[in-house]
A = this chain, B = another copy of it.
Amino acid sequence: MVTVHDVARHAGVSIATVSRALNDRERISSATRDRVLEIARSLGYQPNDLARSLAGMATQTIALLLPDITNPFFPELVKGVQTIADERGHLLLLCHNADDGAKARADIAMLRRKKVDGILLVAGTLKGRGIAGATSDLPTVVLDRRVPGLRSDVVTVDHRAGARKAVEHLLELGHRRIAHITGPPGISSSKERQAGWEEALRATGIEPDKELVVQGDFLEDGGYAGGRALIQRKVDFTAAFAANDMSAIGLLKALTEEGRQVPNDVSVVGFDGIHLAAYTAPALTTVAQPIFDLGRRAAELLLDRLAAAEPDKEPHTVVLETKLVVRGSTSQRR
């Protein structure tokens, strides 16, 4: 393996000069720099980043922690992150925690030992408390929803406004009895989306009916169970707003199985805008998050902060826009 010593010897300079040539920024005559660089190249010199980082330089590595990459929401987000990491010469570490707080903390401890420069955290249904301690003093950007107790940059969407768009769309189609399948309890994005449902109804003079609300979990199963529950309880509804696309897809399945036609008998709107939503039958009307941009902006925010002169300046929150995408699962109330 070729080291700075080899390059130095061949160039007839000290290793300090080699280091300066390689890292440029120090004052060094351009003649020596060019000569050293040429020799380094001809020797096939490749710096050892371990040594570099141990000597005080950044590792140029960030980590992305998320619950489960097979959740269709995440690949697009990962791609957004990766795009920026690539652009800026950083490597991306991926960690799955399956919404398990202990696993997440163990991952963070490991990342700390590895001296990653910073982390991107999709908290899923994780509680903020344990995580906040684990990430202390590690530059962190939180994605998609706020995590209580965690003082960090946040990149998210306006979940409440998005939910309002979904429900307003249904109201405009003439629906009045609009069910809501919630997300998992206790996390802000669930609460905000439900609040958006309520707000939109009230704004039209409709008092939200508790009977129309069933609890889900952001998963297909929860949407399916929710759909069956609504029907079993003989709830009267002509439309439903599911807290995310996967639960909307589960709901679609339950409705179909129970003989209700979508959208003729029931209109359905989801939330997220995952690719999958375009392939269901009927294709799902949904409130699309800018998933790729969420990843992009979060990575940018993190790397900007890392590159900043004073990286500790106060946390920043970026709120991106959602967009209603109308497809086949919604129609005029009959």
Closest to A68 in B: B79
A5 at the interface (CB under 8 A from B): no
A31 at the interface (CB under 8 A from B): no
Distance to closest chain B CB from A74 (angstroms)? 7
A27 at the interface (CB under 8 A from B): no
A171 at the interface (CB under 8 A from B): no
Distance of A95 Cα from B113 Cα, bound (Å): 22
Distance of A59 Cα from B59 Cα, bound (Å): 13
| Chain B neighbourhood of A54, CB < 8 A | 48, 50-51, 54
Distance of A46 Cα from B94 Cα, bound (Å): 21
A93 touches B93 (CB 8 A): yes
Partner of A46, one of B51, B53, B103, B109: B109
Distance to closest chain B CB from A295 (angstroms)? 11
Q: Given contacts A70-B75, A110-B91, are A50 and B48 in contact (CB under 8 A)?
A: no
A47 at the interface (CB under 8 A from B): yes
Distance of A115 Cα from B275 Cα, bound (Å): 36
Of A144-152, A207-215, A223-231, A276-284, the one touching chain B: A276-284
| Chain B neighbourhood of A279, CB < 8 A | 249, 276, 279-280
A182 at the interface (CB under 8 A from B): no
Residues A198-221 near B (CB distance < 8 A): none
A75 touches B69 (CB 8 A): yes
Q: Given contacts A69-B75, A76-B70, A279-B249, are A48 and B94 in contact (CB under 8 A)?
A: no
Residues A28-51 near B (CB distance < 8 A): 46-51
A112 at the interface (CB under 8 A from B): yes
Further pairs besides A82-B96, A91-B111: 9, Cβ < 8 Å: A49-B114, A49-B115, A50-B54, A50-B115, A59-B114, A70-B76, A72-B75, A75-B75, A280-B280
Interface residues of A, Cβ cutoff 8 Å to B: 46-51, 53-54, 59, 61, 68-70, 72, 74-76, 78-79, 82, 86, 89, 91-96, 103, 109-115, 249, 275-276, 279-281
Would you give 13 A-B contacts (Cβ < 8 Å), ordered by A?
A: A50-B53, A50-B59, A68-B79, A70-B75, A70-B79, A79-B96, A82-B96, A89-B110, A91-B95, A92-B93, A92-B94, A93-B93, A280-B281
